[in-house]
Amino acid sequence: MMIETRALRKSYQLGETTVRALDGVDLAVREGEMLAITGPSGSGKSTLMHILGCLDTPDGGEYVLAGEDVARLRKDRLAAIRNRRIGFVFQSFNLLPRLSALENVELPLLYGGRHDAKNAAAQALETVGLRERMRHEPSRLSGGERQRVAIARAIVTHPAIILADEPTGNLDSRTGDEILALFQRLNADGRTLILVTHSAHVAAHCGREVGMRDGRVVNGG
Protein backbone atom coordinates (compact mmCIF):
# COMPACT_ATOMS: atom_id res chain seq x y z
CA MET A 1 0.00 0.00 0.00
CA MET A 2 1.22 3.45 -0.85
CA ILE A 3 -1.14 5.14 1.60
CA GLU A 4 -2.96 3.61 4.52
CA THR A 5 -4.97 5.56 7.08
CA ARG A 6 -6.87 4.14 10.03
CA ALA A 7 -9.49 6.04 12.06
CA LEU A 8 -8.08 9.48 11.18
CA ARG A 9 -9.65 12.18 13.32
CA LYS A 10 -9.28 15.92 13.18
CA SER A 11 -11.45 18.63 14.75
CA TYR A 12 -11.35 22.43 14.73
CA GLN A 13 -12.55 24.93 17.22
CA LEU A 14 -14.77 27.46 15.46
CA GLY A 15 -15.78 29.93 18.16
CA GLU A 16 -17.90 27.96 20.65
CA THR A 17 -18.51 24.92 18.48
CA THR A 18 -16.15 22.07 17.69
CA VAL A 19 -16.16 21.05 14.05
CA ARG A 20 -15.32 17.41 13.43
CA ALA A 21 -13.68 17.74 10.05
CA LEU A 22 -12.51 14.14 10.00
CA ASP A 23 -14.39 11.58 12.03
CA GLY A 24 -12.59 8.27 11.58
CA VAL A 25 -11.32 8.05 8.00
CA ASP A 26 -10.02 4.70 6.79
CA LEU A 27 -8.43 4.90 3.38
CA ALA A 28 -6.07 2.66 1.44
CA VAL A 29 -4.42 3.68 -1.83
CA ARG A 30 -2.38 1.18 -3.82
CA GLU A 31 0.75 2.09 -5.72
CA GLY A 32 -0.07 3.22 -9.24
CA GLU A 33 -3.68 4.12 -8.48
CA MET A 34 -5.45 7.22 -9.70
CA LEU A 35 -7.99 8.14 -7.08
CA ALA A 36 -10.62 10.87 -6.91
CA ILE A 37 -11.83 12.14 -3.54
CA THR A 38 -15.20 13.81 -3.95
CA GLY A 39 -17.76 15.31 -1.67
CA PRO A 40 -19.65 18.53 -0.97
CA SER A 41 -18.08 21.54 0.74
CA GLY A 42 -17.51 20.85 4.42
CA SER A 43 -17.33 17.10 3.89
CA GLY A 44 -13.73 17.10 5.15
CA LYS A 45 -12.00 16.38 1.84
CA SER A 46 -9.75 19.46 2.12
CA THR A 47 -8.74 18.53 5.67
CA LEU A 48 -8.02 14.98 4.52
CA MET A 49 -5.96 16.32 1.67
CA HIS A 50 -3.92 18.56 4.08
CA ILE A 51 -3.22 15.59 6.33
CA LEU A 52 -2.38 13.29 3.41
CA GLY A 53 -0.08 16.07 2.16
CA CYS A 54 1.62 16.35 5.55
CA LEU A 55 0.68 20.02 5.81
CA ASP A 56 -1.26 19.15 8.96
CA THR A 57 -1.22 16.38 11.54
CA PRO A 58 -4.28 14.39 12.69
CA ASP A 59 -5.60 14.49 16.26
CA GLY A 60 -5.87 10.71 16.27
CA GLY A 61 -5.53 7.64 14.08
CA GLU A 62 -2.75 6.34 11.91
CA TYR A 63 -1.30 7.49 8.63
CA VAL A 64 1.30 5.33 6.90
CA LEU A 65 2.85 6.78 3.75
CA ALA A 66 5.02 4.43 1.70
CA GLY A 67 5.74 2.33 4.76
CA GLU A 68 6.56 5.25 7.05
CA ASP A 69 4.28 6.32 9.94
CA VAL A 70 3.94 10.06 9.41
CA ALA A 71 1.01 10.84 11.73
CA ARG A 72 3.05 12.33 14.54
CA LEU A 73 6.25 13.83 13.09
CA ARG A 74 7.83 17.13 14.00
CA LYS A 75 7.65 20.15 11.66
CA ASP A 76 11.06 19.73 10.05
CA ARG A 77 10.47 16.03 9.33
CA LEU A 78 7.09 16.88 7.82
CA ALA A 79 8.77 19.47 5.60
CA ALA A 80 11.24 16.83 4.44
CA ILE A 81 8.37 14.37 3.70
CA ARG A 82 6.53 17.06 1.73
CA ASN A 83 9.72 17.77 -0.15
CA ARG A 84 10.60 14.17 -1.12
CA ARG A 85 7.47 12.04 -0.94
CA ILE A 86 4.63 14.34 -1.94
CA GLY A 87 3.96 16.48 -4.99
CA PHE A 88 1.33 19.21 -4.75
CA VAL A 89 -0.80 20.60 -7.57
CA PHE A 90 -3.07 23.49 -6.58
CA GLN A 91 -6.19 24.91 -8.13
CA SER A 92 -4.58 28.35 -8.50
CA PHE A 93 -1.20 26.95 -9.68
CA ASN A 94 0.77 28.79 -6.94
CA LEU A 95 3.86 29.43 -9.00
CA LEU A 96 6.31 32.07 -7.78
CA PRO A 97 5.81 35.00 -10.16
CA ARG A 98 9.38 36.30 -10.33
CA LEU A 99 10.94 32.93 -11.13
CA SER A 100 11.04 31.38 -14.59
CA ALA A 101 9.24 28.08 -15.22
CA LEU A 102 12.54 26.26 -14.87
CA GLU A 103 13.38 27.99 -11.57
CA ASN A 104 9.94 27.21 -10.22
CA VAL A 105 10.42 23.53 -11.01
CA GLU A 106 13.94 23.59 -9.53
CA LEU A 107 12.71 24.88 -6.18
CA PRO A 108 11.80 21.55 -4.49
CA LEU A 109 15.18 20.12 -5.54
CA LEU A 110 16.99 23.13 -4.08
CA TYR A 111 15.14 22.75 -0.76
CA GLY A 112 16.07 19.08 -0.86
CA GLY A 113 19.72 19.98 -1.31
CA ARG A 114 20.07 18.40 -4.76
CA HIS A 115 22.88 19.59 -7.01
CA ASP A 116 21.68 18.44 -10.43
CA ALA A 117 18.56 20.57 -10.08
CA LYS A 118 18.75 22.22 -13.49
CA ASN A 119 18.83 18.99 -15.51
CA ALA A 120 16.17 17.25 -13.46
CA ALA A 121 13.89 20.30 -13.70
CA ALA A 122 14.35 20.53 -17.46
CA GLN A 123 13.50 16.85 -17.73
CA ALA A 124 10.31 17.27 -15.70
CA LEU A 125 9.28 20.16 -17.95
CA GLU A 126 9.90 17.93 -20.95
CA THR A 127 7.59 15.31 -19.44
CA VAL A 128 4.75 17.87 -19.27
CA GLY A 129 5.60 19.15 -22.77
CA LEU A 130 6.94 22.60 -21.85
CA ARG A 131 10.65 22.27 -22.46
CA GLU A 132 10.78 25.06 -25.04
CA ARG A 133 9.06 27.55 -22.72
CA MET A 134 11.11 26.92 -19.60
CA ARG A 135 12.72 30.39 -19.58
CA HIS A 136 9.33 32.12 -19.39
CA GLU A 137 7.94 33.65 -16.23
CA PRO A 138 4.43 32.47 -15.23
CA SER A 139 2.92 35.79 -16.34
CA ARG A 140 3.91 34.95 -19.93
CA LEU A 141 2.27 31.51 -19.84
CA SER A 142 -1.37 30.55 -20.36
CA GLY A 143 -3.41 28.97 -17.55
CA GLY A 144 -2.94 25.48 -18.94
CA GLU A 145 0.78 26.05 -19.30
CA ARG A 146 1.01 27.33 -15.74
CA GLN A 147 -0.69 24.22 -14.45
CA ARG A 148 1.73 22.09 -16.50
CA VAL A 149 4.64 23.91 -14.81
CA ALA A 150 3.00 23.22 -11.44
CA ILE A 151 2.68 19.54 -12.35
CA ALA A 152 6.32 19.44 -13.42
CA ARG A 153 7.21 20.94 -10.02
CA ALA A 154 5.12 18.22 -8.33
CA ILE A 155 6.79 15.31 -10.15
CA VAL A 156 10.37 16.59 -10.20
CA THR A 157 11.35 14.89 -6.93
CA HIS A 158 9.73 11.57 -7.98
CA PRO A 159 7.35 11.59 -5.00
CA ALA A 160 5.40 8.59 -3.71
CA ILE A 161 2.10 10.37 -4.40
CA ILE A 162 0.90 13.42 -6.27
CA LEU A 163 -1.89 15.33 -4.57
CA ALA A 164 -3.99 17.61 -6.76
CA ASP A 165 -6.57 19.95 -5.26
CA GLU A 166 -9.19 20.88 -7.91
CA PRO A 167 -6.46 20.95 -10.58
CA THR A 168 -8.87 21.91 -13.38
CA GLY A 169 -10.98 24.32 -11.32
CA ASN A 170 -9.43 27.46 -12.80
CA LEU A 171 -9.24 26.21 -16.37
CA ASP A 172 -11.70 26.18 -19.24
CA SER A 173 -13.05 22.72 -20.05
CA ARG A 174 -10.81 22.09 -23.08
CA THR A 175 -7.62 22.99 -21.17
CA GLY A 176 -8.99 21.08 -18.19
CA ASP A 177 -9.31 17.99 -20.30
CA GLU A 178 -5.74 18.39 -21.51
CA ILE A 179 -4.53 18.55 -17.90
CA LEU A 180 -6.67 15.53 -17.06
CA ALA A 181 -5.11 13.66 -19.98
CA LEU A 182 -1.67 14.62 -18.68
CA PHE A 183 -2.59 13.17 -15.28
CA GLN A 184 -3.76 9.96 -16.93
CA ARG A 185 -0.49 9.71 -18.84
CA LEU A 186 1.51 10.21 -15.61
CA ASN A 187 -0.63 7.51 -14.00
CA ALA A 188 -0.01 5.18 -16.92
CA ASP A 189 3.74 5.69 -16.28
CA GLY A 190 3.16 4.22 -12.82
CA ARG A 191 2.71 7.33 -10.69
CA THR A 192 0.18 7.34 -7.83
CA LEU A 193 -2.27 10.24 -7.95
CA ILE A 194 -4.98 11.55 -5.66
CA LEU A 195 -7.30 14.23 -7.05
CA VAL A 196 -9.59 16.17 -4.76
CA THR A 197 -12.52 17.46 -6.76
CA HIS A 198 -16.23 18.00 -6.78
CA SER A 199 -16.45 17.61 -10.52
CA ALA A 200 -18.07 14.33 -11.55
CA HIS A 201 -16.40 14.73 -14.95
CA VAL A 202 -12.94 14.70 -13.36
CA ALA A 203 -13.88 11.84 -11.03
CA ALA A 204 -15.07 9.78 -13.99
CA HIS A 205 -11.56 9.91 -15.50
CA CYS A 206 -10.02 8.44 -12.35
CA GLY A 207 -9.65 4.76 -11.66
CA ARG A 208 -11.56 4.93 -8.38
CA GLU A 209 -13.77 7.45 -6.64
CA VAL A 210 -14.00 7.89 -2.87
CA GLY A 211 -16.98 9.90 -1.66
CA MET A 212 -16.91 11.82 1.59
CA ARG A 213 -19.64 13.28 3.76
CA ASP A 214 -19.47 14.76 7.26
CA GLY A 215 -15.91 13.70 7.87
CA ARG A 216 -16.39 10.09 6.86
CA VAL A 217 -15.82 8.00 3.76
CA VAL A 218 -19.28 7.09 2.48
CA ASN A 219 -18.46 5.12 -0.66
CA GLY A 220 -15.53 3.70 -2.58
CA GLY A 221 -13.30 3.32 0.51
Partner 1 sequence: MLLWTIIKVALGSLLANKMRSFLAMLGIIIGVGAVISMLALGAGARHQVMNRITAMGTNLLVVRPGGAQRRGVQSGSRESLTLGDAEAVLQSVPDVQALAPLVRGRAQVKYFNANTDTTIAGTSLSYLAIRGFELAKGRAFTSVEEDYAARVAVLGSAVSTQLFGERDPVGERIRVKNVNFRVIGVLKAKGDQGWFNPDDMVMVPYLTAMRRVLGQPYLDELDVQAQDAATLARVETQITSLLRKRHRIRAGADDDFHVRNQAELIEMASTVTRTFTILLGGIAGISLLVGGIGIMNIMLVTVTERTREIGVRKAIGARDRDVLSQFLIESILISGLGGILGIVLGFGVAGILSGLSDYQTVVETQSVILALAVSGSVGVFFGYYPARRAARLDPIVALRYE
Binders of partner 1 in range 130-159 (CB under 8 A): 153, 157
* Interface stretch with partner 1, choices 59-67, 77-85, 131-139, 192-200 (CB under 8 A): 77-85
Q: Which of 31, 60, 96, 185 binds partner 1 (CB under 8 A)?
A: 96
Residue 111 interacts with partner 1 (CB under 8 A)?
yes
Q: Name 7's Cβ contacts closer than 8 Å, sequence gap at least 6.
A: 24, 25, 26, 60, 61, 62
Answer for which of 14, 16, 17, 113 binds partner 1 (CB under 8 A) is 113
* Contacts (CB under 8 A) with partner 1, residues 28-67: 50, 53, 55-56
107 lines the binding site for partner 1 (CB under 8 A)? yes
Residues 89/25, Cβ–Cβ less than 8 Å:
no
| Number of CB atoms found within 10 A of residue 114's CB | 16
> Least Å distance between CB 56 and partner 1?
6
Give the nearer residue to partner 1 in terms of CB position, either 145 or 205. 145
Cβ closer to partner 1: 15 or 174? 15
User: Residue 10's beta-bridge partner residues?
Assistant: 22
Distance between CA atoms of residues 131 and 46, nearest Å? 32
Q: Applying CB under 8 A, does 108 fall inside the site for partner 1?
A: yes
Are residues 179 and 90 in contact, defined by beta-carbon separation less than 8 angstroms?
no
Q: Is 219 in contact with 24 (CB distance < 8 Å)?
A: no
Size of interface with partner 1, in residues (CB under 8 A): 26
DSSP codes of every residue in 111-135:
HTT-S-HHHHHHHHHHHTT-GGGTT
End-to-end Cα spacing for the chain: 14
DSSP H/E element including 181: helix 173-188
Choose the binding region for partner 1 from 33-41, 71-79, 166-174, 205-213 (rule: CB under 8 A): 71-79
Residue from 10, 45, 82, 205 binding partner 1 (CB under 8 A): 82
CB of 126 to partner 1, least distance (A): 20
Query: For residues 164 and 134, is the Cβ–Cβ distance under 8 A?
Result: no
- Where does this chain bind partner 1 (CB under 8 A)? 50, 53, 55-56, 75-76, 79-80, 82-84, 88, 90, 94-96, 98-99, 107-108, 110-113, 153, 157
